[in-house]
Structure 1
Amino acid sequence: MFFATVSRPSALALGAGAFALLAGAANAAPLVKECGKDGKFVIGFSQANNAEPYRQHVNDELTAAAAKVPQFTLQIADGAGNVNTQTSQMDNFITQKVDLILISPFEASPLTPVVARAMKAGIPVIELDRKTVGDPGKDYTAFIGGDNFKIAQEAGKYVAGKLLPDGGEVAVLEGLPSSTPAVERLNGFKDGVKANDKIQVVAEQAADWLPDKAQTAFAAMLQAHPNIKAVYASNDMMAAGARLAAKGAGKKDGDIQILGTDGLPGPAGGIRAVAEGEWAATFTYPTGGPQAIDMAKAILLDCAESVPTTVTVPTTAITPDNAKSMMGK
């Protein structure tokens, strides 16, 4: 990697072309006061909840990416699904005067003030996967993540065109309603299925990303609407819960088309579930970890004067056509 300051905007490729950083004008100041390739830097990551498999996947990819940068020390704090815990951890990072903060906020509004405090203290804040209230580039440094609305919209279109071309009743299991991905995925899916006016969304309920709540919720949905033909779960864990509910209702795999979101690897992940015919599809939600470390390198090592305020990491649809080939990747 290199960094060059020139008299006009130039592109800096990061992470095998993952995204480009735009260099500012020659007289612009770096985003941080202390930076340079010879420095040593501490990056604090406030994770929403280490207990979720997706969150652990994020931690693993961040840790692996940071380990490749000798100048970086990564500290991961588990928010444990509690905004007060996560706020306290963020305040600790500010007190420690870490050089950069990454955060996946458990909820948007309650964590907005502490992000503002970090920015006021001169610490860049990169938000991963979930956003606080405000605008990237102003209220926080940048957002890195997938486009939740588009990912869910693709799932809806897949149901409308591929799975249920003749229409039918479908249901939605929403994540934690106070988190931005939950709202965006709910709205995206409902928009996607509009492509087929024969499809009816007959039930939608929040299950807070949790498989046991999803199982309970979907069991109740099936009692009220026994003809449901497909269910979209806003994460893989809830899709697993939905399958258990379908089994409990006497359904065989394939009787109800189950769709997840995350596309997690491993024996408990969505890729395997699709490959083995348990689910109809899942849609990968990239962690953004490698991109976040690339951005940290630009800010802390290369003394970047500006970074992209939003970095959208693309998704991949995992279907029976490609699931087996994606196993182990």
Structure 2
Amino acid sequence: MRAPRPRRHLVVAAGAALAITGLITGCTAGDTGTNTEPTNNSDNEASGDRVVIGFSGPAADHGWLGAINSAAIAEAAKYPDIDLRVAEGTNDANLQISQIETFINDGVDAIVLLPTDGAALTDVAIRAMEAGIPVINVDREFSSTFAARVTVLGDNYGMGVSAGTYICEQFGGTDAVVAEVAGIDSLPLTQDRSRGFADALDDCGLEVNNRVAADFTVAGGEAVTSQLLAAAPHIDALWNHDDDQGIGVLAALDAAGRNEMLMVGGAGSKNAMDAIKADDGVLKATIIYPSTQAADGIRLARLVVQGKSLGDLVEVEVPNRIVLNAPVVTKENVDKYLPTAFAS
């Protein structure tokens, strides 16, 4: 077996459509789960051997996670050769571990897993890999490269960069007051978003003057934004990390009669895009965090098990890491992104 390779930090610049790094070869995780020799096959839509896929994700307690689950199920339904087995969504790491153990015992062909806690689910994912079941890790990373055959991620750092770059384009060279309503501060994804935001602002001489953290819920967004507004009598630009909690952020702004600012959202909900398109309020842009990640995981699991590659690549195996883009949605391009927007 090869020794584990050192983990590299991956930064995807705003504007990149897809980042794909490092193929696993030899005796690493990439060897598990294929039942045929890999071929560079562009006809990936053609039906192949039956593939039993186990899917487990957190409870759909807000719109983005609901869209993750529904998109995965809808994608599997497109392929007659996929038998999808869906575990009940949960925010209990121990229950999710037991779900994966059931998938292992049932001998599924692949597992698509959005872990409620990446570190907590790492060991059971490694056990699946050791059992010859390729794991497709979605959104929240495991703490070992040996826990997944493929990892599909949104670009959290890139979200911050995109938001900060957009605000720099509007206010660069000024002394604008910038505020930030983050998500759950203990999560690495929130930390990455905030770091990307600060880095992008620094490039144009701005900084975050006022910051609060919510919990990705409407109630949480409204409560912390009310606190923020009390502490900041004037704000020029505000970035809210998540469009679900953004409903509460906007409610707090409305209740306080605060409309002096430009607001940028995050994730890409339909209600946010509708408001951007109407262009009659403070919300002028949102940053995409794709709710298609688990659907992508389903398609990739099918390709891995059937020994296929991504049709547009010369490489004959599915990559081991895919990072999706974090574009800025404004009134000028909103129609392009509305079809994949999720309902809050």
Identity of aligned residues (%): 27
Distance in 2 (CA, whole Å) between partners of 1:32 and 1:156 is 41
Q: CA deviation at 1:125?
A: 0.9
2:289 maps to what in 1? Answer: 285
Amino acid at match of 1:131: E
1:8 maps to what in 2? Answer: none
Distance in 1 (CA, whole Å) between partners of 2:71 and 2:21 is 20
Matched, 1:213 2:213: no
Distance in 2 (CA, whole Å) between partners of 1:30 and 1:115 is 15
Matches within 5 A, 1:76-87: 76-87=86-97
Residues 60-118 of structure 1, C-alpha deviations (whole Å, 9 max, x = no match) = 32222211221112223343333233223222222222211111122232222222222
Distance in 2 (CA, whole Å) between partners of 1:211 and 1:285 is 18
Matched, 1:150 2:155: no
Distance in 2 (CA, whole Å) between partners of 1:107 and 1:46 is 12
After superposition, the Cα gap between the structure-2 partners of 1:179 and 1:74, relative to the gap in structure 1 and judged at 3 Å, is: farther
1:260 maps to what in 2? Answer: 265
Matches within 5 A, 1:171-320: 171-197=179-205, 199-252=206-259, 255-265=260-270, 269-277=271-279, 278-286=282-290, 287-302=292-307, 306-320=317-331
Whether the aligned pair in 1 keeps the contact of 2:20 and 2:321 (CA below 8 Å) is no
Find the partner of 1:116 among 126, 130, 151.
126
Whether the aligned pair in 2 keeps the contact of 1:264 and 1:270 (CA below 8 Å) is yes
Distance in 1 (CA, whole Å) between partners of 2:301 and 2:81 is 11
Structure with a larger share of its residues in strand: 1
Amino acid at match of 1:288: Q
Q: CA deviation at 1:248?
A: 1.7
Distance in 2 (CA, whole Å) between partners of 1:276 and 1:67 is 34
Q: CA deviation at 1:317?
A: 1.4
SS in 2 for 1:118: helix
1:105 maps to what in 2? Answer: 115
Q: TM-score, normalised by structure 1?
A: 0.81
Q: CA deviation at 1:58?
A: 1.8
Amino acid at match of 2:203: A
Distance in 2 (CA, whole Å) between partners of 1:178 and 1:67 is 36
Find the partner of 2:84 among 59, 74, 95.
74
Distance in 1 (CA, whole Å) between partners of 2:275 and 2:92 is 30
After superposition, the Cα gap between the structure-2 partners of 1:222 and 1:158, relative to the gap in structure 1 and judged at 3 Å, is: same
Q: Greater shift after overlay, 75-84 or 33-42?
A: 33-42
Whether the aligned pair in 2 keeps the contact of 1:35 and 1:299 (CA below 8 Å) is no
1:32 maps to what in 2? Answer: 33
SS in 2 for 1:281: strand
SS in 1 for 2:121: helix
Unaligned segments of structure 2, at least 5 residues:
1-17, 38-46, 310-315
Amino acid at match of 1:32: G
Tell me the C-alpha RMSD between the 2 structures.
2.9
SS in 2 for 1:108: coil
Moved segments of 4+, more than 4 Å: 17-25, 33-38, 303-306
Q: CA deviation at 1:308?
A: 0.9
Q: CA deviation at 1:34?
A: 4.5
Q: TM-score, normalised by structure 2?
A: 0.78
Matches within 5 A, 1:57-72: 57-72=67-82
After superposition, the Cα gap between the structure-2 partners of 1:69 and 1:213, relative to the gap in structure 1 and judged at 3 Å, is: same
Whether the aligned pair in 2 keeps the contact of 1:262 and 1:270 (CA below 8 Å) is no
Unaligned segments of structure 1, at least 5 residues:
1-16
Residues 196-236 of structure 1, C-alpha deviations (whole Å, 9 max, x = no match) = 22x33123233121221111111101111121222212211
Distance in 2 (CA, whole Å) between partners of 1:47 and 1:204 is 30
Find the partner of 2:57 among 29, 47, 50.
47
